[in-house]
C-alpha cells in the first residue's frame, strides 16, 4: 500500500506537470512518422514491421521512463523520499509508475501502428498478448533500475539510452522475434522457448533490481 501511495504521488505530480506524458506522445508521433517517411510507398514485409515496432517502443521508452528517478534527483527531493520510505517501497512505487506508463504507451503505439502499417496483422493474438505483457514488464523494470543509476550519476539524460540498450538488447531481440511469430501465426507451443526466456529475464531483472537498489539509493 505504501508503494501505491508513492505511485499516487507521482501520478498526481505527472498530471500537474505533464512532463513525461507530453514528451512521450510527441516522441511516439515523431518516431512513427520518421519510419513512415523513410519507407515512402514501399511495401514493408511483415518481419521488418515487427522489428520496427520494437524500435519505436525502445526509443519512446527511453524518452519517458527515465523521469522516474531523474525528476526526484533534479528537484532535490531524493532525500525527502529517503526520510519517508524504505528503499524497497521507493523502488516498488517507481516500478508501478513505469509499468503503467509502459502499458499505456505500448497500447497507443500498437494502435497507431496497426492503423498505419497494413502488413502489421496479428495472426496469433494470444501469443501477441502474452509477449506484450511479459515484454512490457521487463522493459519497465530494467528502465526503472537504469533510471535510478542515471539519476544518481548526476542526471546525465543523454547517457540513459546508452546504458539501457545493452541491458534491454536480449529482451528486445526476443520480443521482436515473438512479435514476428504472432504475425506469422506460429503456435504457442513452438514459441515456448522464447516465452520462457522473456519470463526468465523479467524474474532475474526484478530480483537483481531489488537486491542492488539499496546500494544505489543510499549515498
Partner 1 sequence: MNNYSLQANAVKKNFGRRLIFSNISFELINKGIFGISGPNGSGKSTLAKILAGLISPSGGKVIHKSNSKEILPERLHNHIGFVSPYLILYDEFSASENFYFFARIRGITPDKNKIEDLLKRFLLFNRKEDPVKTYSSGMKQRLKFIFALMHSPDLIVLDEPTSNLDEEGKESVYKIIGEEAENKIIVIASNEERDLSLCGNIIMLENFKLTGSR
Partner 2 sequence: MIWKVFLFLLLSFVLIAGIAFPIVNKPSLWYEFPFIKGLGQNAKIIFFHVPTAWLTVIAFLMSTIYSIKYLRKKNLDDDAKSYSAAQLGIIFCILATITGSVWSKFAWGSFWNWDPRQTSIFALLLIYGAWFALRSAIEQEEKRATLSAVYAIIAFITVPFFIFIMPRIMTGLHPGSADDTNAGPVVSFKMNSNMQLIFYLSLTGFTILYFWMWRLGYKSIILLTKFQLKDQNKQL
Nearest residue to 51 via CA among 168, 136, 174: 174
Residue selected from 96, 131, 201, 202 as contacting partner 2 according to rule CB under 8 A: 201
CB-CB contact of 85 with 6 (8 Å) = yes
Binds partner 2 by CB under 8 A, chosen from 186, 200, 206, 210: 200
How many Cβ atoms sit within 10 Å of the Cβ of residue 151? 24
**149 is an interface residue for partner 2 by CB under 8 A:** yes
208 binds partner 2 (CB under 8 A): yes
Locate cell 526468465: which residue? 200
Long-range pairs, 205-212, Cβ under 8 A, ≥24:
205/138, 205/141, 205/142, 205/145, 206/141, 208/145, 209/91, 209/95, 209/141, 209/144, 209/145, 210/88, 210/91, 212/145
- How many of the other CB atoms lie within 10 Å of CB of 53? 24
What is the nearest approach in angstroms of partner 1 to the Cβ of residue 179? 37
Burial class (CB in 10 A: 0-12, 13-18, 19+), 11: middle
Which one, 74 or 190, has the nearer CB to partner 1?
A: 74
173 binds partner 2 (CB under 8 A): yes
192 binds partner 2 (CB under 8 A): no
Residue 133 interacting partner from partner 1, partner 2, none (CB closer than 5 to 8 Å by kind): none
Q: Quick one: what does residue 193 bind among partner 1, partner 2, none, with the CB cut-off 5 to 8 Å set by partner type?
A: partner 2
Q: Which of positions 87-146 make contact with partner 2 (CB under 8 A)?
A: 145-146
Should residue 44 be labelled a site residue for partner 2 when binding is judged by CB under 8 A? no
Q: Which stretch in 59-67, 79-87, 106-114, 193-201 sits in contact with partner 2 by CB under 8 A?
A: 193-201
Pick the stretch among 28-36, 42-50, 79-87, 161-169 that binds partner 2 (CB under 8 A): 161-169
**Residue 165 contact, options partner 1, partner 2, none, Cβ 5-8 Å cut-off depending on partner type:** partner 2
Amino acid at each position: 500500500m505504501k508503494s501505491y501511495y508513492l505511485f499516487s504521488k507521482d501520478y498526481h505530480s505527472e498530471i500537474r506537470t505533464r512532463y513525461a506524458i507530453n514528451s512521450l506522445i510527441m516522441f511516439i508521433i515523431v518516431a512513427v512518422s520518421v519510419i513512415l517517411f523513410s519507407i515512402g510507398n514501399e511495401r514493408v514485409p511483415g518481419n521488418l514491421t515487427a522489428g520496427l515496432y520494437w524500435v519505436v517502443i525502445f526509443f519512446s521508452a527511453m524518452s519517458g521512463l527515465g523521469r522516474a528517478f531523474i525528476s526526484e534527483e533534479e528537484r532535490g527531493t531524493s532525500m525527502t523520499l529517503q526520510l519517508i520510505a524504505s528503499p524497497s517501497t521507493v523502488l516498488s512505487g517507481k516500478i508501478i509508475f513505469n509499468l503503467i506508463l509502459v502499458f499505456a504507451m505500448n497500447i497507443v503505439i500498437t494502435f497507431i501502428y496497426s492503423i498505419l502499417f497494413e502488413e502489421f496483422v496479428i495472426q496469433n493474438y494470444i501469443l501477441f498478448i502474452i509477449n506484450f505483457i511479459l515484454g512490457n514488464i521487463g522493459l519497465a523494470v530494467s528502465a526503472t533500475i537504469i533510471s535510478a543509476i542515471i539519476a544518481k550519476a548526476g542526471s546525465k539524460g543523454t547517457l540513459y539510452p546508452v546504458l539501457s540498450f545493452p541491458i534491454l538488447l536480449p529482451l528486445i531481440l526476443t520480443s521482436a522475434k515473438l512479435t514476428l511469430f504472432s504475425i506469422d501465426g506460429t503456435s504457442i507451443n513452438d514459441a515456448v522457448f522464447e516465452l520462457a526466456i522473456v519470463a526468465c529475464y523479467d524474474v532475474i531483472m526484478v530480483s537483481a533490481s531489488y537486491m542492488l537498489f539499496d546500494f544505489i539509493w543510499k549515498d
